[in-house]
């Protein structure tokens, strides 16, 4: 059932989606290059658990930064503004459990199938689709990459 996609330079593998979990959760494997980070955002309809497989990540939430290393995880409750920032390793890989489902739908709908090792160049239409679907599934962008909650 594994489905591989590129979304904004990040390789995302859908391991379990709403169809397999009956809408209870999505299981996503993400691979981020060194020092790539998400914009400040929150998920109003689902929570996340991030478990590090390779490299390390820093999770920024209001008033706190949490460094997460291989074998460690962090829980991000719904409605919590946050940033996920990859460490300086060439490859940083983590599993994300999003519960209930929603994240896999966003990846499938906006991401591009990973048919090579190189991410495609994103265009204005990709961002437009991303923003529209994010709003529909309850994701809210609060600031650009580099800002903190």
Closest C-alpha to 123, from 6, 33, 8, 5: 8
Q: pLDDT, tens digit, for every residue of 27-61?
A: 999 999 999 999 999 999 999 999 999 999 999 99
pLDDT the model gives residue 140? 92
Give the three-class secondary structure for 62: coil
Cβ neighbours of 83 (radius 10 Å): 22
Average pLDDT on 138-144 reads: 90
Distance between CA atoms of residues 82 and 62, nearest Å: 7
In a domain, 148, yes or no: no
Question: Tokens for 46?
Answer: 């689902």
CB-CB contact of 56 with 67 (8 Å): yes
In a domain, 149, yes or no: no
Q: How many domains does the chain have?
A: 1
Structural domain boundaries, residue 22: 3-143
pLDDT band at 90 (very low <50, low <70, confident <90, very high): very high
What lies within 8 Å, CB to CB, of 139 at 6+ separation is: 41, 42, 43, 44, 102, 106
């Amino acid at each position: 059932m594994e489905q591989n996609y590129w979304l904004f330079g990040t390789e995302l593998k859908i391991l379990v989606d709403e169809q397999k979990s009956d809408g209870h959760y999505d299981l996503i494997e993400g691979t981020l290059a060194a020092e790539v980070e998400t914009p400040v955002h929150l998920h109003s309809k689902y929570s996340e658990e991030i478990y590090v497989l390779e490299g390390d990540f820093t999770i920024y939430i209001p008033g706190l930064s949490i460094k997460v290393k291989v074998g460690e995880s962090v829980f991000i409750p719904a409605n919590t503004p946050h940033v996920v920032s990859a460490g300086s390793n060439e490859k940083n890989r983590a599993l994300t459990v999003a519960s209930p489902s929603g994240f896999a739908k966003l990846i499938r709908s906006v991401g591009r199938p990973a048919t090579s090792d190189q991410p495609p160049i994103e265009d204005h239409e990709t961002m437009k689709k991303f923003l529209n679907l994010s709003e529909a599934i309850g994701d809210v962008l609060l600031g650009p990459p580099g800002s903190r909650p």
